[in-house]
Amino acid sequence: MSLDLSMLLVQFISGLTTAMVLFLLASGLTLVFGVMNVINFAHGAFYMLGAYLAFTITQMLSGSLGFWAALVIAPTVVCVVGGIVEVGLLRRIYDKEHLLQILLTYALIFIFNDLIKMIWGVNLRMVNLPPSLKGFVTFLGRRFPVYYFFILGVGTSVAILLWLLLKKSRFGKLLRASAEHRDMVGLLGYNVRTVFTLVFMMATWLGGLAGAVIAPTVRISMGMGMEIIIECFIVVIVGGLGNVLGALLGALLAGELYAFGILLMPNYAMAFLFIFAAVIIIFRPYGLLGKTAQGVS
Amino acid sequence: MDDRKYGWLTTAVLAFVLTLIFVFPTGKALAARPIKVGLIDAYSGGAAAFTKPALVAWRIVVDEFNAKGGLHGRKMEIITRDTKFKPEQAVSDARELILKDRVDFLAGTISSGCALAVSQFAKTKKKLFIVHIARSARITGEKGNGYVFRGCPDTDIEGGAGGAYAATKPYHSWYIIGDDYEYGHAIAENFWKGLVKNKPDVVKVAEVWAKLKETDYTPYLTALMAKKPDAVYAAFGAADLISFTKQAKLFGLFEKVPVFEYALGDSIFPAVLKQNMPVGAYGGINYLWYYPDNAANKAFVERYREVSKKEGHPDLYPSGLGSFGGYCSAKFLTEAILKADSVKTDKVIKALEGLTIQTALGPIQMRACDHQAVTPTFWGETANVPGYPFPVLKNIVMTSGDKVIPSCEEIAGERKKAK
């Protein structure tokens, strides 16, 4: 097989799209861990909910309008649900050990699965591609669907906005401070509880957005959240728990490793990712960009 | 009369009445005790798209059996259990059905893993188990036993028929992609065997296995297109077939390369895929609701629509994977019971071996040596044909089961090797 440039480029873009979806999910996961010190197994459930909501909205409003509406409404609804979960359940276990948190968030997966079964039933659902994002981009004699460039755009925008929010805004400073000196922030007169609720809502919004964005390219089914969350955990661990920039780096590495693994040695592509993660865990247990002490950066 | 005498009389009357209640009607109830079939399957989750149509087909056959008076007045009854796709659950369901519900026969499942687990259990309990959707060739092949039957095709028949069909097309280099799972490997392997047998000069460019339930086939699709094969064989199970097809359509794969996908011809996929259903692809299946276009098939479709509506699961297009497999399996069982004139397991097994049933596709035989139904396979090109609600197959080629099924000697060899 001749490895010409255009082929490599296409495979690279392929890996980027995979990376962006992973990043959208992993950023929420890492944010919640970094600030709140909670391992949220249920993150995939919010992603699934986003996809199902996108399905309903595109059923009600056809064409491109339905898709854009879904892109706005689905993450918003998911983020409200996230707020309810934080206030009603998570808030009660912050000072408990990780094991209890895992039990609770794991239980949430089952609760969400059953809720989805009650509302949407068990049939597989499909969201159609919005007409305005159909078609292909042709470059170097190869075609790539426009929609995947849209995914790239959404992922990049989210990355930039998150970075600005965390580094440049007052809220971002508050977040970083809450992560490292929870009590101090409280003593200074800020309501740490509200900060936590807002962070969790932000994370679930990102999860919902990932679900809505991915919806037109996948089959929507129960358990779709579980199928992707393991890879997201790997991304988060490789990048450094709690580190948003690390999540981006981890997602990019995972996506490209996967894409080129498939091009060169397709039957070991999955193994590459896990071997890479294992090496990182052994030599840099706190991740590529993680600090020994956790925190949002 | 003193009190004591009165007491004796009461006791006597009571005893008599009790005798009447317990002995007499019990005898009658025994005669009319229903024939119970325990249907174990995954009814929650995406699998329901296949298992519910199969259940509708069972109802058709059972209603027909009961309307004709059952077996000397004994009606048939179906008791369902949800495995949630887990083999352990399937076995505990089977155990409960046998011990608590006292079922006479077991049937199911969509999952090959569950079918293999239940078939081992059925053997230890000496109960007849008929498989109606699961495809793994091992169920009636190397892992087969005297108590297991299958009324639907397996990967040997379907893969082999696909290979024989593909050999008639002018494609030389092939790219194989599929689920890294028993079903994917088994059907692809038989496809390749069938293709090479009929066209020895073909080349395999690559064989790529994606993990089960993969959500993102993007890197696979770009890598596949970079190889520029003459044709692609996609060996995916139901759920992943949908994801793969949807994304392949997004990437314009079907316009660039001829793609062969078994099961793509089934009515379930266009119903789910809708505008993502590709045209110009090669699809196969074990049953088509519009072909052969004859009275028997039309009557079956009509009846299926009626019963599915009555069951609260209205479905216009009976599927091959769900409905027809369920229909044949139920038909094999009821016909065997009538032929044996008994519900005793050993007698029904004997009656089933070599039994031929009449279906919408003509006669189908249950092979005696391995308990596998010898079913036909249909392949064609997906196309928008006026008058049909979604893309259907055209230029249909039927391959009869006896042309592609492994011989009894081969099966015997496999079983011996497995021991």
- Residue-level pLDDT, tens digit, chain A, 297 residues: 456 888 899 999 999 999 999 999 999 999 999 888 888 999 999 999 999 999 999 999 988 999 999 999 999 999 999 999 999 999 998 888 888 988 999 999 999 999 998 999 877 888 989 999 999 998 877 889 999 999 999 999 999 999 999 999 999 999 888 888 888 888 888 888 899 999 999 999 999 999 999 999 998 988 888 878 888 999 999 999 888 999 999 999 999 999 999 998 888 888 888 899 999 989 988 888 887 544 455
Count up the domains in chain A and report the number.
1
Tell me whether A153 touches chain B (CB under 8 Å).
Answer: no
8-state DSSP, B364: E
- Dihedrals phi, psi of B316, to nearest 5 degrees: -85, -25
Query: For the CA atoms of B399, B403, B408, B412, what is the dihedral angle to 10 degrees?
Result: -80
Instruction: Give which of A2, A122, A148, A235 to mutate to test B binding, by max B Cβ within 10 Å.
Output: A122
pLDDT for the residue numbered A230: 87
pLDDT in tens, B264-318: 999 999 888 888 899 999 999 999 999 999 999 999 999 999 999 999 889 999 9
**Sequence-ordered strand ranges (E) for B84-192:** 105-108, 128-131, 148-150, 173-179
Instruction: Give which of A262, A265, A267, A273 to mutate to test B binding, by max B Cβ within 10 Å.
Output: A262
Helix (H) or strand (E) holding B219: helix B218-227
Query: Do the Cβ atoms of A201 and A82 come closer than 8 Å?
Result: yes
Distance from CA of B370 to the nearest CA of A (A): 34
Tell me whether A128 touches chain B (CB under 8 Å).
Answer: yes
pTM here is 0.87
Tell me whether B251 touches chain A (CB under 8 Å).
Answer: yes
- Dihedrals phi, psi of A14, to nearest 5 degrees: -55, -45
Set of chain B residues whose Cβ sits within 8 Å of the Cβ of A230: none
- Give long-range contacts, CB 8 A cutoff, 24+ apart: A249-254: A249/A288, A249/A289, A250/A22, A250/A26, A250/A287, A250/A288, A251/A19, A251/A20, A251/A22, A251/A23, A251/A26, A252/A16, A252/A19, A252/A23, A253/A19, A254/A18, A254/A19, A254/A22
Burial of B418 (0-12, 13-18, 19+ CB in 10 A): exposed
pLDDT for the residue numbered B17: 57
- Dihedrals phi, psi of B132, to nearest 5 degrees: -120, -15
Position B25 pLDDT exceeds 50: no
- Tell whether A258 is covered by a domain: no
Judge: B226–A218 Cβ closer than 8 Å, yes or no.
Answer: no
- Tell whether A287 is covered by a domain: no
**Cα separation of B152 and B129, whole Å?**
13
- Tell whether A97 is covered by a domain: yes
**Cα separation of A49 and A278, whole Å?**
31
**What value does the CA radius of gyration of chain B take, rounded to a whole number of Å?**
25
Which among A124, A136, A228 is the nearest to B242, CB-wise? Answer: A124
Which among A10, A126, A221 is the nearest to B239, CB-wise? Answer: A221
pLDDT for the residue numbered A202: 96
Distance from CA of A230 to the nearest CA of B (A): 12
Judge: B246–A217 Cβ closer than 8 Å, yes or no.
Answer: yes
Residue B46's SS3 state is coil
Closest among A232, A219, A209, A231 to A49, alpha carbons compared: A209
- Tell whether A236 is covered by a domain: no
pLDDT for the residue numbered B389: 87
Tell me whether A258 touches chain B (CB under 8 Å).
Answer: yes
Distance from CA of A44 to the nearest CA of B (A): 13
pLDDT for the residue numbered B419: 81
Mean pLDDT of B349-357: 97
Structure tokens at A238: 């490789």
- Tell whether A54 is covered by a domain: yes
Distance from CA of A274 to the nearest CA of B (A): 14
Neighbours of B411 (CB within 10 A): 22
- Tell whether A234 is covered by a domain: no
Strand B231-235 relative to strand B148-150, pairing? unpaired
**Cα separation of B27 and B396, whole Å?**
55
Tell me whether A232 touches chain B (CB under 8 Å).
Answer: no
Task: Spell A220-259 as b/e; 16+ CB within 10 A means b.
Answer: bbbbbbebbbebbbbbbbbbbbbbbbbbbbbbbbbbbbbb
pLDDT bracket for residue B20 (50, 70, 90):
low
Burial of A283 (0-12, 13-18, 19+ CB in 10 A): exposed
**Cα separation of A212 and A163, whole Å?**
22
**Cα separation of B364 and B11, whole Å?**
61
pLDDT for the residue numbered B115: 96
- Tell whether A228 is covered by a domain: no
pLDDT bracket for residue B26 (50, 70, 90):
very low
pLDDT bracket for residue B18 (50, 70, 90):
low
Q: Which domain holds residue A202?
A: 5-222
DSSP chain A: ----HHHHHHHHHHHHHHHHHHHHHHHHHHHHHHHH----TTHHHHHHHHHHHHHHHHHHS-HHHHHHHHHHHHHHHHHHHHHHHHHHTGGGGTTS-HHHHHHHHHHHHHHHHHHHHHHH-SS-B--PPPGGG-SEEEETTEEEEHHHHHHHHHHHHHHHHHHHHHHHSHHHHHHHHHHH-HHHHHHTT--HHHHHHHHHHHHHHHHHHHHHHHGGGS-B-TTHHHHHHHHHHHHHHHH-TT-HHHHHHHHHHHHHHHHHHHHH-GGGHHHHHHHHHHHHHHH-TT-SS--SS----
A-to-B residue pairs, Cβ atoms closer than 8 angstroms: 109
pLDDT in tens, B361-390: 999 999 999 999 999 999 999 999 998 889
Residue B146's SS3 state is coil
pLDDT in tens, B59-81: 999 999 999 999 999 999 999 99
**Cα separation of B265 and A266, whole Å?**
28
- Tell whether A126 is covered by a domain: yes
Distance from CA of A113 to the nearest CA of B (A): 10
